[in-house]
Structure 1
């Protein structure tokens, strides 16, 4: 018998997951969403043909409950759905900073919980998600959570202690890439190119470099050295980056993001 998956909170990430599941072969009969904005709920119902229920009804109907609300809304949502979570259900949380212990403490004893850290490239089916099981999570339930996330990207399984680092690297990572891309495009404009041309050059260069990393399996140092001819233009640029301690700045920035992730979760524990 097919399982029913309920997505609580059909904002950007919730809709991304919904559309990914449908593209991967899930039928709309197997899916339920909740959305507190009535106009948005109607749009999703018309677009996907999916059922829209209130939180309690969705929880009662679901085998897999996917929580995609903001962290500050999680306590209220758990209070609404807790009595409808039964043995055999799995609760999957995509809310940043919400620990499995926090979820377990507000759900029936023995509830199977999975914590997920996704990222925004899931919007184009190129997401990178990490999943961590709670104390009572079965292998079957963890497999189910991974299958959900694979509908819009890649998934790795990690101990929960690593999720602050995951948040800092892949969760926030797209913003770092966009930051560098912005700078490179601006440099092209400073050098006299039209912004549209500079943008095309940078975006395709980024795409090509990422594809090389993925498909060759070579270490980034090896690939970088192949572009860096002695005394050439690339070496001149890289020397400036080293002189400005850009590598160290990136490491420090990512450490700061991981620290902030931990701080945001602490008041909820």
Structure 2
């Protein structure tokens, strides 16, 4: 695989770093381009990749393209990549938010095979949660390559495109919900007398540990919750207060709101 990266910001850099570390691709087989010189310099320093002058050079030299530009730059980037490809087929893996497979395909030649992804920011520390969907002309090999690349920075699933906005509501926007919870837990700790720094570390590590328990044990969250909840103890008292204040309903409503907004932005 010759991997070209169009848009070398933090997410594109994180994905390529993970792919190199996991052995999915070697640094020598990667080229990146970005109009912002500082971003391109940081990308090459972090990944060991080569640079390309523009998207046309990426299209000419790379069989797989990671499209990591801002959504409004995608059409122009694909047009340049197509010019460079000069009729040759290419696999395009897009992380551009909100752009449908149809929109992406309409901006590219018919022989460009399109995969659309929804990563999240923890991919930057190798703990991402990503989903992807594939266009009609992609192959099983394309899907396997996308899975390998995206899984190098966290957990990845394949879904039909109709569920991508649901993914946005749960994991795409989800880190912000959890940051709010960490902040609130830390505030509770400070109210009880803990120092701010200690409270934040304890809250963040608790979220990290709880997530690891879910992923590594495979147990339902309700089972794990019950393991912490002794009759008449502190945890059940706290959970009762959370129910009284609608925490569960608020989280469900937050996902619903994010999905609705994603539908609006995507024109659904």
Q: Which moved more, 1:199-208 or 1:162-171?
A: 199-208
Equivalent pair of 1:82/1:106 in contact (CA under 8 Å)? no
Is 1:201 matched up with 2:199? Answer: no
Match for residue 66 of structure 2? 66
Equivalent pair of 2:89/2:111 in contact (CA under 8 Å): no
Indicate if the aligned counterparts of 2:13 and 2:47 stay in contact, CA closer than 8 A: no
State the secondary structure of the residue aligned to 2:5: strand
Distance 1:216 1:100 in 2: 35
- SS of 1:84's partner is helix
What is the TM-score when the length of structure 2 is the normalising length?
0.93
Give the superposition deviation at 1:200: 2.5
Query: Greater CA deviation, 126-135 or 223-232?
Result: 223-232
| Higher deviation after alignment, 136-145 or 196-205 | 196-205
**Gaps in structure 1 of 5+ consecutive residues:** none
> Distance in 2 between the 1:63 and 1:141 partners?
11
Cα-Cα RMSD: 1.6
Contact 1:55–1:81, Cα closer than 8 Å, also in 2: yes
Secondary structure of the residue aligned to 1:115 is: strand
How far 1:226 moved relative to its partner? Answer: 2.0
Give the TM-score taking structure 1 as reference length: 0.93
Report how many aligned residue pairs link the two structures: 265
In structure 2, what is the equivalent of residue 6 of structure 1?
4
Residue 38 of structure 2 corresponds to 39
Farther-moved stretch of structure 1 (95-104 vs 18-27): 18-27
Aligned to 2:126: 125
User: The residue matched to 1:192 in structure 2 has which SS?
Assistant: coil
Contact 1:83 / 1:108 at 8 angstroms: preserved in 2? no
Match of 2:154 in 1: 153
CA distance in 2, matches of 1:96, 1:129: 12
Partner of 1:138: 139
The alpha-carbon deviation at position 231 of structure 1 amounts to: 2.2
SS in 1 for 2:266: helix
- Structure 2, unmatched stretches of 5+, are none
**Whole-angstrom distance in 1 between the partners of 2:32 and 2:111:** 25
> Does structure 1 conserve the Cα–Cα contact (< 8 Å) formed by 2:105 and 2:112?
yes
| Structure 1 residue 94, shift from structure 2 partner | 0.5
Task: Give 1:221 shift.
Answer: 0.8
- Is 1:256 the counterpart of 2:254? The answer is no
Deviation track 1:80-105 (CA, whole Å, cap 9, x = no partner) reads: 22333445411110011111111111
- Alignment partners' CA distance in 1, 2:136 and 2:59: 21
> Which range is displaced more, 223-232 or 122-131?
223-232
Q: Does 1:75 align with 2:72?
A: no
Residues 74-133 of structure 1 deviation map (CA, whole Å, 9 limit, x = unaligned):
122223223334454111100111111111111112431100111111112111111101
Does 230-239 or 126-135 show the bigger shift? 230-239
Match runs of 1:94-243 below 5 Å: 94-243=95-244
